[in-house]
Amino acid sequence: SASIGSLCADARMYGVLPWNAFPGKVCGSNLLSICKTAEFQMTFHLFIAAFVGAAATLVSLLTFMIAATYNFAVLKLMGRGTKF
């Protein structure tokens, strides 16, 4: 069990700060106050929005692949898929 005074996070590791930023670590009560801000809480909602967008893209790509495969099969079956 760790107390809040011994917890630290390096913001440079997550791309929040540039690598040459000094100090890059946030510890103790400063870390707790950052975690309670509305901006930090918004990151969860942004993650969910990005996940939903990626899922919608995946569904649309799968739909396209199925439709293209069906069209190719129909053209091959009708004999029109060999002439260009």
Summarize pLDDT for 50-66 with one digit per residue, the tens.
999 999 999 999 999 99
Cβ partners under 8 Å of residue 75, min gap 6:
81
- The Cα–Cα gap between 76 and 54 comes to 33
Q: What's the pLDDT band for 67 if we cut at 50, 70, 90?
A: very high
In the chain, the number of structural domains is 1
Q: Is the pLDDT of residue 81 over 80?
A: no
Section 35-50 average pLDDT: 87
For 54, the domain range is 4-82
Section 20-38 average pLDDT: 79
